[in-house]
Structure 1
Amino acid sequence: MTSYSYASSLGDTSYRAVETRARLDALARLLDSAIRVPGTNIRFGADALLNLVPGVGLLTSKGMSAYLIWEARRLGVPLPTLLRMVGHVGVDFVISAIPVVGWVGDAFYRSNLRNMDLLRRHLDKAHPMASPIQR
């Protein structure tokens, strides 16, 4: 079964939710865990790398985090959950603002993956993924 026929069997709204989930999941992984340090299980992402560029890097990485929250709002995530998501990014912002320590903190405090987990829980309730049609 092609991805189109599977997606069309989900219905238009659910298909958009699946598409959005995949896109935002990829963004969260890119920001928080895209690169693995060889020989270890330590992972970091573009968020940590962007914070090496003073000012602009911090604003860019937090701007992408804000986009994830904006999309969550668009998908109907309730206000208390959105506030938790904002809190995660706020903590990340405070950690990132500290020179040198912030870079290390970014490697271990993964606000975008935490926010994706909250979004995924909401989408699982609001747009449950249908199982593919068996042939």
Structure 2
Amino acid sequence: MAKTTRMPRNAMGNMLGRDAAAVRRRVEAMEQLLERTFVIPGINRPIGLDVFLDFIPVGGTFIGAILGLYMVWEARNLKMGGSAVMRMVGNVAVDWALGLIPGIGIIPDFFFRSNSRNLKIIRKHLDRHHPATATVQHK
């Protein structure tokens, strides 16, 4: 009789699966990376990679948009409705367009957090269609 072995859990905490729980973990991690990686001392305002990418002229805004579109791609993999996906694309497009404004393109990233908005849309879908993936939010 052959001995079965268990595959070790990957280093990313089983984030590579196709199931809804793995998708939730990936989009939450992406949103945290892009919007809430660091906290500005004194004002306790979280910022992420999206703000830092705006310091790279033009190219940084495109990179930020591509990373934001990753969340949209995950939403399509979850078979989310077209209207929700289009709202997400619109959020990324607004963030991208505002980021193109020379000199002040960084300011909207403090107030219009497209990735946080998109995460909220994805969570709403997951909570409705995949309630077992719900997690307790710590604030």
Deviation at 1:126, TM superposition (A): 1.2
Structure 1, gaps ≥5 residues long: 5-11
Q: How does 1:100-119 map to 2 (within 5 A)?
A: 100-119=103-122
1:86-111 deviation digits (Å, cap 9, x = unpaired): 11111111110112211111122100
Structure 2, gaps ≥5 residues long: 1-8, 10-16, 135-139
Partner of 2:128: 125
Amino acid at match of 1:102: G
Cα 1:58–1:130, aligned 2, differ >3 Å: closer, same or farther? closer
Q: How does 1:1-135 map to 2 (within 5 A)?
A: 16-129=19-132
| Bigger Cα displacement from structure 2, 51-60 vs 112-121 | 51-60
Backbone CA RMSD of aligned residues = 1.9
Q: Percent identity?
A: 36
After TM superposition, the score normalised by the length of structure 1 is 0.81
Contact map agreement 2:68 2:115 (CA 8 A) in 1 = yes
Q: How many residue pairs align between the two structures?
A: 119
1:49-82 deviation digits (Å, cap 9, x = unpaired): 0111112211111001011101101101100001
SS of equivalent to 1:23 = helix
SS of equivalent to 1:101 = coil
CA distance in 1, matches of 2:117, 2:81: 16
After TM superposition, the score normalised by the length of structure 2 is 0.79
Which one has the bigger helix percentage?
1
CA distance in 2, matches of 1:21, 1:34: 18
